[in-house]
Each structure stands twice: as structure tokens, then as C-alpha cells.
């Protein structure tokens, strides 16, 4: 019995002294992770065409929050599971940051750029966005594109029910009753040019807050120039001459294929019209609406 005990002690000692066979891959993992940390920690201003730089120094809480996530992604220890098994850590060398696949455009429904920034830098509000664009065209970035902002809330687009996790939120300084300024839209177009190219975002995936949350939201308002954006390659727009939809075309199914949640069909129709038939924002499913849905449906 004593001999077995000594054998066990010897085996444990040998195991503990054995070289880590994953040392090389773990080193690569650590190096890549440090590179990605630099990426998500970067707060340098990004050049956009004809947009004046905005310099603001209100990032103390941002930095504190970033350190919280840094500690999480660098954690590599063993984790106990409920069945008594402990996880074992072996870092892969094949990974990168997740990229956004949607852009959601909002209007702030507030009175100024500074009011919006105050809202997004106050913990109690629990809301944020990646970018805010003021009426005079200034652009403020408030979160790295790879990180998850809290701008969308409950909503869906197609089968995606967690919009915040794969989208970029852009807030336009507008109370919802004003015409969007030329300077503001030009800055938005410049920003969309950069984001679409960097993350290869599909044209159809540049949408509004009302599109993903038709029962809750009405932004951006009916004054927002979706047609201009579509002409520049950011979103789609109905054909100038609408084709009559086939007799067997199901408009509700068409809305779902485009991306709308149709559990509340009237709300979905109104959200669709807020985007595509802005002079007739109501819940009526008339012939023009059906033909417009068909036109957008064909572009998916």
C-alpha cells in the first residue's frame, strides 16, 4: 500500500514538472488578445470627409467600464460546472473581434448635442450609442465599433432578436419635429461610407429604430431622407414606377422577409410607411402599400 502511495506521489511530481505542451499556442493567444485590447481601447479620432473634429474629455466612466471587460476577456482560469467537472483552459490561436452587421439610425428626441451626450454619460439612463451627429455636422464617437452599445432595446430584424449585439447605433441630434440639416446628412453619409466599407455591411441592413421596434419607436421621423441614403448605396428604396404585385403575393409575409416583426401587423405597416411611404404614415394595407412592399421585397 505504501509503495502505491509513493508511486502516486512520484506521478504527481512528474506531471507538475512536465512542460506545458500548449505553451507556444498560449503565447500566440496572449499576443493576439493584447492586440485586440489595443483595438477596442483605441479612442483616437477617425478622419471623415469634410467633418470637423470634436474633442471632448468625459471618458472617465468609459475607461472604468472598459477595464471591467478587459478583465473578463483576459480571464483564462478553470471554471467549476454544476456536475462537478472543472473546465480546462487551452487558448486557441484562431480568433478575432466580432464585427457589426447592422446600422440602426435614430433621432435623439432631445434638444441639443450636449443634452444627448449627458444622457449617454449618465449611468442611471442605461442607454448609449456609438455615434452622435449634431445639427451642424459634428460627429462624436462614444464607443468603439466592436463594443456593444445599448441603443436598440427590445426589437428584432428578421431572425435577429438581439440587435445591440451586432449593430452600430447612430443618433442624429433632432427632436423628431425638425427637418434634418444638410450638414448633418452629409456627415451621416460620410460616416456610413466609412462603416459600410470597414465592416462590409449589407446595403439592406442600414435601417431605422422604428424598423426594428415598430410597436415602440417612431425614429427617425418621416422627415428623414431615406431616399437620398438609398441613392448613395445605404439602404434600399422602392422603384419609381411600382410594379403591380402578383395576386398571390402575401404582403405580411413580404414584410417578414424584408425584416419586420409582424406580430402587430398594423404597427409593422406603419413602420414600413415611415421608412418608404413617408407622406402616408398609417396602418392601411392598400394597393399602393402592397405594391411598395413587393418592390422592397424583390430587393432582398
Q: Mind telling me the catalytic residues?
A: 171
Spatial separation of the C-alpha atoms in residues 260 and 34, rounded to whole Å: 39
Residue 162 CA to residue 216 CA, distance in Å, equals: 16
Dist. CA 156–CA 154, nearest whole Å: 7
Cell of 38: 489595443
* Strand order across the beta sheet in which 102-107 lies: 139-141, 131-133, 167-172, 102-107, 206-208
- Phi first, then psi, for residue 132 (nearest 5°) are -130, 130
Q: What is the DSSP string of 53-66?
A: -------HHHHHHH
Closest C-alpha to 145, from 186, 209, 95, 200: 200
Q: What are the residue ranges of helices labelled H in 18-126?
A: 23-41, 60-73, 113-120
Amino acid at each position: 500500500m505504501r509503495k502505491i502511495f509513493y508511486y502516486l506521489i512520484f506521478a504527481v511530481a512528474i506531471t507538475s514538472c512536465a512542460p506545458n505542451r500548449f505553451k507556444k499556442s498560449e503565447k500566440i493567444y496572449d499576443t493576439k488578445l493584447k492586440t485586440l485590447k489595443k483595438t477596442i481601447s483605441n479612442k483616437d479620432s477617425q478622419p471623415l470627409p469634410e467633418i470637423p473634429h470634436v474633442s471632448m474629455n468625459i471618458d472617465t466612466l468609459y475607461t472604468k467600464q472598459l477595464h471591467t471587460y478587459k478583465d473578463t476577456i483576459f480571464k483564462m482560469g478553470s471554471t467549476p460546472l454544476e456536475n462537478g467537472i472543472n473546465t480546462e483552459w487551452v487558448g486557441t490561436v484562431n480568433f478575432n473581434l466580432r464585427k457589426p452587421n447592422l446600422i440602426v439610425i435614430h433621432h435623439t428626441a432631445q434638444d441639443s448635442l450636449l443634452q444627448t451626450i449627458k444622457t449617454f454619460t449618465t449611468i442611471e439612463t442605461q442607454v448609449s450609442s456609438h455615434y452622435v451627429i449634431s445639427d451642424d455636422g459634428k460627429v462624436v464617437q462614444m464607443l468603439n465599433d466592436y463594443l456593444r452599445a445599448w441603443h436598440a432595446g427590445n426589437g428584432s430584424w428578421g431572425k435577429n432578436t438581439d440587435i445591440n449585439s451586432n449593430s452600430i447605433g447612430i443618433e442624429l441630434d433632432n427632436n423628431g419635429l425638425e427637418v434634418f440639416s444638410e450638414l448633418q446628412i452629409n456627415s451621416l453619409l460620410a460616416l456610413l461610407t466609412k462603416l459600410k466599407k470597414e465592416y462590409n455591411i449589407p446595403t439592406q441592413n442600414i435601417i431605422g429604430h422604428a424598423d426594428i421596434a415598430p410597436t415602440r419607436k417612431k425614429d427617425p421621423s418621416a422627415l428623414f431622407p431615406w431616399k437620398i441614403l438609398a441613392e448613395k448605396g445605404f439602404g434600399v428604396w422602392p422603384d419609381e414606377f411600382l410594379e403591380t404585385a402578383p395576386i398571390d403575393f402575401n404582403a405580411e409575409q413580404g414584410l417578414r422577409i424584408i425584416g419586420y416583426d409582424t406580430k402587430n401587423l398594423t404597427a409593422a405597416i406603419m413602420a414600413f410607411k415611415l421608412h418608404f411611404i413617408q407622406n402616408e404614415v398609417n396602418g392601411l394595407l392598400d394597393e399602393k402599400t402592397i405594391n411598395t412592399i413587393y418592390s422592397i421585397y424583390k430587393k432582398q
